[in-house]
Amino acid sequence: MLLTLLAVSFIVFAAFEIIPGDAAVSRLGSNATKETVEALRVQMGLDKPFIVRYLNWLSGFVKGDFGTSISYNLPVSSMILEKLPITVTLTILSMIMTIGISIPLSLLIAKYAGSKFDRISYGTNQFVMAVPSFFLGIMMSWFFGMVLKLFRPGGYISYKKDFGGFLGYLILPAIAIAIPKCAMSIKLLRSAILTEAGKDYVRTAYSRGLSTMEVLYRHVLKNAMIPLITFWGMAVADMIAGSIVIEQVFNIPGLGRILLTSIANRDYPVVEAVIILIAFVVLIMNLVVDILYRVVDPRLRKD
Partner 1 sequence: MLLSVEDFGIEFHDHDKPERVVEGVSFTLDKGEILGIVGESGSGKSMTALAIAGLLPRKKLKKEGRILFEGEDVLTMERHKLRTLQGDEICMIFQEPMTALNPTMKIGTQVEEALRIHHTQMNDAARKERAIKWLENVELDDPERVYESYPHQLSGGMRQRVMIAAAMVGGPQLLIADEATTALDVTVQAQIIKLLQKINKESAVAILFISHDLSLIRQISHNVLVMQNGHLVEKGAVDDIFDHPKQEYTKKLISAIPKVEL
SS3 297: coil
| 194 is a site residue for partner 1 (CB under 8 A) | no
Amino acid at residue number 183? A
Query: How many of the other CB atoms lie within 10 Å of CB of 283?
Result: 16
DSSP string computed for 112-172: TTTSHHHHHHHHHHHHHHTS-HHHHHHHHIIIIIIIS--S-TT----TTT-HHHHHHHHHH
- Choose, by CB under 8 A, the member of 43, 104, 155, 222 that binds partner 1: 222
The nearer residue to partner 1, 119 or 199, going by C-beta atoms, is: 199
| 205 is a site residue for partner 1 (CB under 8 A) | yes
The nearer residue to partner 1, 120 or 300, going by C-beta atoms, is: 300
| 208 is a site residue for partner 1 (CB under 8 A) | yes
| 210 is a site residue for partner 1 (CB under 8 A) | yes
- Choose, by CB under 8 A, the member of 206, 217, 280, 293 that binds partner 1: 206
Burial of residue 154 (CB within 10 Å: 0-12, 13-18, 19+) is exposed
The nearer residue to partner 1, 197 or 249, going by C-beta atoms, is: 197
The total number of residues written for the chain in this structure: 303
Alpha helices in the chain (DSSP H): 2-18, 23-28, 34-44, 50-62, 76-111, 116-129, 133-140, 163-197, 200-207, 212-214, 221-241, 243-250, 255-264, 268-296
| 303 is a site residue for partner 1 (CB under 8 A) | yes
- Choose, by CB under 8 A, the member of 203, 264, 290, 294 that binds partner 1: 203
The nearer residue to partner 1, 116 or 299, going by C-beta atoms, is: 299
| 299 is a site residue for partner 1 (CB under 8 A) | yes
Provide, rounded to whole angstroms, the least separation between the CB of residue 291 and partner 1. 16
| 223 is a site residue for partner 1 (CB under 8 A) | yes
Give contact residues for partner 1 (rule: CB under 8 A): 199-201, 203-211, 219, 222-223, 226, 296-299, 303
